[in-house]
Amino acid sequence: MKRIVRSVLFLLLITQAGWTQQLVDGIAIVVGKEIILRSEIQQYMRNFLMQNRINPETNPQAVERIRQRTIESLIEQKLMLEQAELDTITVDPEMVDSKLDERIQLMLQQVGSESALEKAFQSPMKKIRKDTRKVLEEQLLVEKVRSLRFRDIKISRREVEAFYKQYQDSLPEIKESVDISHILKLVQPSPEAQAKAYEKIENIKKQLDAGEDFARLAREFSDDPASARRDGDLGLIGRGEFVPEFETAAFALNDGEISDIVQTQFGFHIIQMIERRGEKIHTRHILVSVTPSEQDEQRTYDQLMEIRQKALDGTPFEELALEYSDDENVKKDKGHLGVFEMDRLAVPQFKTVVATLKPGEISLPFKTDYGYHIVKLNDRIPARRLSLETDWQQIEQMALGFKRDHEYKAWIASLKERIPIDNRLEN
């Protein structure tokens, strides 16, 4: 979640303590028939400063640089909106509505409820949706204009070689990388833990059948804290975004209907359909998770130790992964996770463990949020400079991006010559 993204989330920042300067309404810049408000510039700046944790009081020079970049970015956006109108480029209203639903749900997740969102925006939900839709429609238009303009740009071999010759000393180096495989074991709760969780969800289901309010029970009993704060609301989600058991049960419901008890890898659920929109559904749920015991964790650890010993005794790691790993991708990759720069290993425990291994070694079992793992270090690749011989595809993409950026800047310059810009900030 690289550029200043046009987002209504910046409005939330207006209410943050410490910001004392009031937004000044009024037109700052006119680009053709498009306008940029002074408040719009301030809002973009606030969003950027907050995201990058820049204190405007202690770093005024940075604030002025950000202000200039913000103004230039907004002018470029308005120029492309003018071009979209000239080229009669439009975006699908259904796509805008879908993006709108996603954005509203994201904001609700961040603040917790509609009332909190209305308080932060100092506007009713109807106006928040209207303003957000306008912003998203403009953003999608700008992306479409730029995509259509530069999608057919190609680059020749000679251009790639010339790019590399000129910039090879400033190209990023490939950092130390590792080729790793793993075997994952999920901690399976004991039958006693399963029975205890099922008894709890069964009692909740009885209360729902007796007419109790779903939202209240979700707030009180659900083990999914993020959705529980929103009365169990999961938002508008399409196919493929739920685990299969949940998706099958959810998509079988009619509006307002409540499911039977559904078991997934996360525990036991009761699902309520709020509404269906085409191939997307708006649901809420109550989750009762099954909590493994210390004995369950130890059993999983011991099982991985036995699997590790089989690997050390000569059984191919790939065969053991196929037989024992609970990773859903194991049939496709046989436990091979791929090649990663050490700095980009997203799971901290992996980074710590892999740093201690030599090629061919297999780690002791360790725990992450996904379960318990053993990792095999297949290879360790030292840091090196990019070269045309070994990294042609990567250099080609860099050269293509450089060419597109150069042509984009030239195109923006031509738009500035053709479309009038009245910068009232300079007056």
Give the tens place of pLDDT for each residue, 372-409.
999 999 999 999 999 999 899 999 999 999 999 999 99
DSSP state of 341: E
What does the pLDDT read at residue 20?
A: 34
Average pLDDT, the chain: 87
Mean pLDDT within 322-343 = 93
Q: Which of 2-6, 199-203, 258-262, 269-273 has the lowest mean pLDDT?
A: 2-6
Number of helices (H), then strands (E), in the chain: 15, 11
What does the pLDDT read at residue 6?
A: 34
At 107, is the secondary structure helix, strand, or coil? helix
Mean pLDDT within 322-326 = 96
Of 288, 312, 328, which residue is a domain's last? 288
**In sequence order, what are the residues at sequence separation of 6 or more whose Cβ sits closer than 8 angstroms to the Cβ of residue 73?**
3, 4, 44
State yes or no: pLDDT of 15 exceeds 90: no
CATH, residue 121:
1.10.4030.10
Same domain, 165 and 307: no
Mean pLDDT within 312-320 = 97
CATH, residue 362:
3.10.50.40
Same domain, 324 and 183: yes
Answer whether residue 202 is part of any domain.
yes
Distance CA 25, CA 298 (A): 63
Long-range contacts of the stretch 187-192 (C-beta < 8 A, 24+): 187/292, 187/296, 187/297, 187/300, 187/371, 187/372, 188/292, 188/296, 188/300, 189/290, 189/291, 189/292, 189/293, 189/296, 190/292, 190/293, 190/295, 190/296
Same domain, 142 and 231: no
Same domain, 65 and 110: yes
Answer whether residue 420 is part of any domain.
no
Answer whether residue 427 is part of any domain.
no
Query: Each residue of 38-88: pLDDT tens digit?
Result: 877 876 776 677 667 777 778 788 888 888 998 998 999 899 998 888 889
Distance CA 48, CA 51 (A): 5
What does the pLDDT read at residue 50?
A: 60
At 185, is the secondary structure helix, strand, or coil? strand
What is the Rg, in whole angstroms, of the alpha carbon atoms belonging to the chain? 27
State yes or no: pLDDT of 1 exceeds 70: no
Mean pLDDT within 13-38 = 63
- Closest Cα to residue 235, out of 280, 267, 194, 288? 280
Mean pLDDT within 325-345 = 92
Q: Which of 60-74, 101-115, 407-421 has the lowest mean pLDDT?
A: 101-115
Report the percent of the chain where pLDDT is more than 90.
55
Could you tell me if 365 and 349 are in contact, meaning their C-beta atoms sit under 8 angstroms apart?
Answer: no
Q: Pick the more confident residue, 266 or 111.
A: 266
Same domain, 243 and 313: no
Same domain, 370 and 402: no
What does the pLDDT read at residue 16?
A: 37
Its domain, for residue 391, covers 157-174+385-414
Answer whether residue 118 is part of any domain.
yes
Answer whether residue 272 is part of any domain.
yes
What does the pLDDT read at residue 47?
A: 63
Q: Pick the more confident residue, 116 or 142.
A: 142
What does the pLDDT read at residue 99?
A: 86
Distance CA 354, CA 369 (A): 17
Same domain, 32 and 137: yes
Long-range contacts of the stretch 387-390 (C-beta < 8 A, 24+): 388/160, 388/161, 388/164
Of 288, 312, 336, which residue is a domain's last? 288
Q: Confidence class of residue 8 from pLDDT cuts 50, 70 and 90?
A: very low
Same domain, 133 and 235: no
Answer whether residue 264 is part of any domain.
yes
Query: Each residue of 191-250: pLDDT tens digit?
Result: 888 999 999 999 999 999 999 999 999 999 999 988 898 899 988 888 888 888 999 999
Q: Confidence class of residue 162 from pLDDT cuts 50, 70 and 90?
A: very high
Answer whether residue 423 is part of any domain.
no
Q: Confidence class of residue 427 from pLDDT cuts 50, 70 and 90?
A: low
> Cβ–Cβ contacts within 10 Å for residue 2, how many?
3
Looking at the 3D structure of the chain, how many domains does it have? Answer: 4
Answer whether residue 3 is part of any domain.
no
Q: Which residues pair with 422 in a beta bridge?
A: 30
Q: Confidence class of residue 305 from pLDDT cuts 50, 70 and 90?
A: very high
Query: Each residue of 147-161: pLDDT tens digit?
Result: 898 988 999 999 999
Of 288, 319, 350, which residue is a domain's last? 288
Same domain, 312 and 409: no
Same domain, 20 and 85: yes
Same domain, 319 and 237: no
Same domain, 90 and 184: no
